[in-house]
Amino acid sequence: MSKYLIINRIIVALGVCLALLPAAGAQQQQQYFDVPFVPTPYVVIEEMLRLAKVTPQDYVMDLGSGDGRVLITAAKRYGASGMGVDLDGDLVAESQASAADAGVSGRVSFQQQDLFKTDFSRATVITMYLLPGVMMRLQPRLLDLKPGTRLVSHDFRLGDWKPDVTTQIRKNTFLWIVPAKLAGPWKINADLPGEKQAIELEMRQQYQEVDGYGKFGSRHAQIWEARLTGDQLSFVMVDDRDRENEAALYFEGRVNGDVIEGRVRRGTGNAQTVHPWRAVRATAK
């Protein structure tokens, strides 16, 4: 083979390699972004914000904010403030320009950064349109947010964490309310008729779903109708200290770390009495 033919083949091979470089670069860029940008329809945005009950007091964080339309709508229609996070610098620049055009750039900002390195602690509402794998990676961090924080997504769920509310307007929209951490033993003091009553309480929890049992001295009492919404807890027990005069105890309270405080209603109708109650986590020091 002549040296000229060899040189010609080398030139052709280099040309093929150079022609492939843009495609390889595009593939690397596609892999860099965890979620491709697909605009959310405005009617779905409106349902997400309605479901989250956004108010002017809310700080909304939009994860994977794209062109900024969710956060800008939250600011324009609900008076909210907040921040959008996206890896794509071009979309961040577009969002900033759109916010300025909409007159809300003083209330919202957009950052080019990795959402897995973003501090969510300021958020009262988080909006998302992320792929299932990304949602699952975020789930532990979202569960650690302040109880009562509202999380809203469309199309994709947070794994086996059941939504508190699901609606369907063109797309499925899901709302989760971050629950307080309630599982474990508690000690209740309640000013019930006759005496101040000490009750041992054992709570079980799977996300916002809770149940358990109580103990009046040596007597066990089932917990009924337990509900946990954010930091708001309610449940029912039966006060059977006097079998001839037993009555339901309707507990309502707010969970604040290792303390729950609220009121308990004993009985119903004109026989009902209302009393304060307080519980402390038994494992708390």
pLDDT in tens, 23-48: 333 333 333 455 678 889 999 999 99
Residue 237 confidence (pLDDT) above 90: yes
> Does a structural domain hold residue 37?
no
3-state DSSP call for residue 59?
A: strand
Domain containing residue 170: 42-177
151 and 216 co-located in one domain: no
Residue 274 confidence (pLDDT) above 60: yes
What type of residue is 118?
T
- Final residue before a domain boundary, out of 137, 154, 177: 177
Q: Please enumerate, as own/partner, the contacts of 98-101 that have beta carbons within 8 Å and a separation of 24 or more.
A: 98/67, 98/68, 98/69, 98/72, 99/68, 99/71, 99/72, 99/75
105 sits in the region (left: phi over 0; alpha: psi -120 to 50; else beta) called alpha
- Final residue before a domain boundary, out of 144, 177, 210: 177
124 and 229 co-located in one domain: no
What pLDDT is stored for residue 15 in this prediction?
38
161 and 57 co-located in one domain: yes
Helix boundaries (H) for 67-155 = 69-78, 89-102, 132-143
pTM: 0.84
Max Cα–Cα distance, the chain, nearest Å = 112
Residue 134 confidence (pLDDT) above 70: yes
What pLDDT is stored for residue 34 in this prediction?
58
77 and 157 co-located in one domain: yes
190 and 234 co-located in one domain: yes
117: domain CATH number?
Answer: 3.40.50.150
Give the count of domains, the chain: 3
190 and 269 co-located in one domain: yes
Of the pLDDT bands very low, low, confident and very high (cuts 50, 70, 90), residue 285 is: low
DSSP label at residue 193: T
Average pLDDT, the chain: 87
